[in-house]
C-alpha cells in the first residue's frame, strides 16, 4: 500500500513545534491559540487535522485525562503521568511498568498487549503544601 505523499507546510511544522516545546500537554484549542500568534490565518480545523496526522506518524502523542478533553504530548518516549486535581498540573513520570508485569497479564489473558496508559491522580506537592 503506497503511503500518501505528505507535503511540508508552515501550518504543520508550527503545530509540531508547539506541541514538542510545550510542557503542559495542551489541548487542540490551546495549540490553536498559540499557533495564531505565529500564523494569524491558521484555522482550527487545520490544527485538529495536523494534530491527528502527527499523532498517527508518532511524532506526538494523544493523551486523555479524566474530566478533560483530549490533550497532546510532545514527549514520544513511553512514560506515565500524574494529574493534580487541585491545580490541574500534569507531571511526566519517566518510569514504566516492569516488562514482567505486562507479560504476566498478557499470558493470563491470552491477548497481545501493544501498549498501556497509566495515570495517577491526586494532589501535587505545591498544592499539598499550600493547603497545610
The answer to whether residue 38 forms part of the interface with its own copies (CB under 8 A) is no
- Stretch touching DNA by CB under 7 A, among 22-30, 83-91, 97-105, 124-132: 22-30
The answer to whether residue 92 forms part of the interface with its own copies (CB under 8 A) is no
Residue among 37, 38, 43, 56 that touches DNA (CB under 7 A): 43
The answer to whether residue 34 forms part of the interface with DNA (CB under 7 A) is no
CB of residue 89 vs its own copies: minimum separation in angstroms? 10
The answer to whether residue 83 forms part of the interface with Zn ion (CB under 5 A) is no
In degrees and rounded to multiples of 5, residue 52 shows phi and psi of -65, -45
The answer to whether residue 73 forms part of the interface with Mn ion (CB under 5 A) is yes
| Long-range contacts from 49-56, C-beta under 8 angstroms, 24+ separation | 50/11, 50/12, 50/15, 50/16, 51/15, 51/19, 53/6, 53/12, 54/12, 54/15, 54/16, 54/19
Amino acid at each position: 500500500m503506497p503511503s500518501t505523499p505528505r507535503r511540508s507546510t508552515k501550518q504543520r511544522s508550527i503545530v509540531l513545534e508547539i506541541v514538542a516545546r510545550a510542557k503542559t500537554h495542551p489541548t487542540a484549542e490551546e495549540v490553536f491559540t498559540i499557533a495564531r500568534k505565529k500564523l494569524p490565518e491558521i484555522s482550527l480545523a487545520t490544527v485538529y487535522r495536523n494534530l491527528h496526522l502527527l499523532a498517527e506518524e508518532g511524532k506526538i502523542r494523544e493523551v486523555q485525562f479524566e474530566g478533560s478533553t483530549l490533550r497532546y504530548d510532545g514527549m514520544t518516549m513511553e512514560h506515565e503521568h500524574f494529574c493534580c486535581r487541585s491545580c490541574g498540573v500534569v507531571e511526566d513520570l519517566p518510569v514504566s511498568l516492569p516488562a514482567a508485569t505486562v507479560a504476566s497479564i498478557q499470558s493470563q489473558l491470552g491477548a497481545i498487549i501493544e501498549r498501556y496508559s497509566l495515570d495517577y491522580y491526586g494532589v501535587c506537592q505545591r498544592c499539598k503544601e499550600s493547603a497545610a
